[in-house]
């Protein structure tokens, strides 16, 4: 009875509406705090999943983008710009920082105007990079060296003018350099005879940079008479193309002597050097000026390593009287379009050989330097006759080996053709 009386008093003092509101507020408060306690467990897994999904999308996009860039670089150098390449390589190297920038970008919803190349490189994973390297077999260092659209790539030569000294090699090289698909070293590297110990990297670094479709060349005439040059060149490139400019060996020997005489005026006369005993007619074949002209002897060493199909023999005499005709054959041998034609040549009567000119240009033709075109000293006719007789069997052997007849025996007077250097 007492309990009901106390309840009655309480309900009488506090209106029922206030009691209901109080109870409702307690319920709502309890529900709110219950939801807040579960918020972290509900929020962070979702947030991590969002980041993970964002990274997945970014990595997938990056993989495709960088693949397209690498493929473009492997097909042609123009589409993969230097700025993009620098960004990609620097980002891959700093991979951890790139990952952090990616997460921050996703969390803060970075501006969509950010460059595609930078965003893609920043999210690129090491595993994806390894897959790309396996697919394209291209390392970072190779890309830095090879994919340079501005300068091309330095390569070992695909063709070499290996001889012969004083045969017309400089004239041939200068004519070839007119061709847009030929890049050649100006100076003679002498790698395979004098600088071989410096290594192929040193040799490659001497070469000019070339673009796709261009041929790298060099000329060193002494290779033809160097015993170990054939083996060394073969070990570098078995499929290399070799060009040999040959000339009447008697005229060539006189030209060789003329060059030496201009540097050393005190040397003995040609007649003295050419014979061991002139009275007996014993020719000194050990003298380099005469030994170089025994072409069959030197060619035999080259044929041990290279087939004739990889060699092309240029007539030094025809290169003077018909430079366009000889150049057409050389361009065919190298697989080049016949761009250097008769329009590129002008015969200089003073020097006695053709000079180069641009067909669309009316400027003065460009001739070889003062070291070319020296007047030969007068040589005794009997000495010339004896030398022709000495060389004849070697020339015949050379004709048979090459399958070409250079008709040097038809030259009764060595001064009647090619009397100048």
Active-site choice (69, 154, 165, 166)? 166
CB-based burial of residue 178 (10 Å sphere; 0-12 exposed, 13-18 middle, 19+ buried)? middle
247 annotated as a binding-site residue: yes
167 annotated as a binding-site residue: yes
Q: Give the list of residues 6+ apart from residue 212 with CB closer than 8 angstroms, or none.
A: 76, 77
CB-based burial of residue 365 (10 Å sphere; 0-12 exposed, 13-18 middle, 19+ buried)? middle
169 annotated as a binding-site residue: yes
131 annotated as a binding-site residue: no
3-state helix/strand/coil string of the chain: CHHHHHHHHHHHHCCHHHHHHHHHHHHHHHHHHHHHHHHHHHHHHHHHHHHHHHHHHHHHHHHHHHHHHHHHHHHCCCCCCHHHHHHHHHHHHCHHHHHHHHHHHHHHCCCCCCCHHHHHHHCCCHHHHHHHHHHHCCCHHHHHHHCCCCCCEECCCCEEEEECCCCCHHHHHHHHCCCCCEEECCCCCCCCCCCHHHCHHHHHHHCCEECCCCEEEEECHHHHHCCCHHHHHHHHCCCCEEEEEECCHHHHHHHHHHHHHHHCCCCCCHHHHHEEECCCCEECCCCHHHHCCCHHHHHHHHCCCCCHHHEEEEEHHHHHHCHHHHHHHHHHHCCCCCCCCHHHEEEECCCCEEEECCCCCCCCCECCCCCCCCECCCCCHHHHHHHHHHHHHHHHHHHHHHCCCCCHHHCCCCCCCCCEC
281 annotated as a binding-site residue: no
76 annotated as a binding-site residue: no
Neighbour count for residue 198 (Cβ, 10 Å)? 13
Rounded CA separation 38/156 (Å): 69
What tokens were used for 286? 């050990």
198 annotated as a binding-site residue: no
Contact between residue 274 and residue 290 where contact means Cβ atoms under 8 Å apart = yes
376 annotated as a binding-site residue: yes
392 counts as catalytic: no
Contact between residue 177 and residue 184 where contact means Cβ atoms under 8 Å apart = yes
373 annotated as a binding-site residue: yes
Return the active site residues: 166
User: Which residues fall in the annotated binding site for 3'-phosphoadenylyl sulfate?
Assistant: 166-170, 247, 255, 372-376
User: Which residues fall in the annotated binding site?
Assistant: 166-170, 247, 255, 372-376
């Amino acid at each position: 009875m007492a309990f009901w009386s106390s309840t009655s008093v309480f309900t009488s003092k506090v209106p029922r509406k206030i009691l209901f509101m109080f109870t409702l507020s307690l319920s709502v408060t309890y529900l709110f705090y219950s939801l807040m306690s579960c918020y972290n467990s509900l929020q962070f897994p979702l947030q991590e999943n969002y980041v993970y999904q964002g990274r997945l999308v970014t990595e997938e996009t990056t993989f495709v983008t960088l693949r397209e860039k690498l493929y473009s670089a492997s097909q042609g150098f123009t589409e993969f710009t230097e700025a993009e390449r620098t960004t990609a390589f620097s980002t891959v190297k700093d991979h951890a920082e790139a990952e952090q920038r990616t997460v921050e970008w996703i969390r803060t919803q970075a501006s969509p105007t950010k460059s595609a190349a930078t965003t893609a490189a920043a999210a690129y994973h090491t595993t994806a990079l390894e897959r790309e390297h396996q697919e394209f077999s291209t390392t970072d260092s190779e890309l830095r060296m090879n994919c340079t659209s501005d300068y091309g790539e330095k390569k070992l030569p695909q063709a070499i003018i290996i001889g012969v000294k004083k045969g017309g090699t400089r004239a041939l090289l200068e004519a070839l350099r007119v061709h847009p698909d030929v890049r050649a070293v100006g100076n003679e590297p002498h790698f395979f005879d004098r600088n071989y110990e410096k290594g192929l990297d040193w040799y490659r670094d001497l070469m000019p940079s070339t673009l796709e479709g261009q041929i790298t060349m060099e000329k060193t005439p002494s290779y033809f008479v160097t015993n170990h040059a054939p083996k060394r060149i073969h070990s570098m490139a078995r499929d290399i193309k070799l060009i040999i400019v040959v000339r009447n060996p008697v005229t060539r020997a006189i030209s060789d002597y003329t060059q030496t005489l201009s540097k050393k005026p005190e040397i003995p006369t040609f007649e003295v050097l050419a014979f061991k005993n002139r009275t007996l007619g014993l020719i000194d074949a050990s003298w380099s000026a005469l030994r170089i002209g025994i072409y069959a002897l030197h060619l035999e060493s080259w044929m041990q390593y290279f087939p004739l199909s990889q060699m092309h023999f240029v007539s030094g005499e025809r290169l003077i009287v018909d430079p366009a005709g000889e150049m057409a054959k050389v361009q065919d041998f190298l697989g080049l379009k016949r761009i250097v034609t008769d329009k590129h040549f002008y015969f200089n009567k003073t020097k006695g050989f053709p000079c180069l000119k641009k067909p669309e240009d009316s400027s003065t033709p460009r001739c070889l330097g003062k070291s070319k075109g020296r007047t030969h000293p007068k040589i005794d006719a009997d000495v010339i006759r004896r030398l022709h007789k000495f060389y004849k069997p070697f020339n015949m052997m050379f004709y048979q080996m090459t399958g070409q007849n250079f008709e040097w025996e038809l030259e009764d007077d060595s001064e009647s053709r090619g009397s100048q250097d």
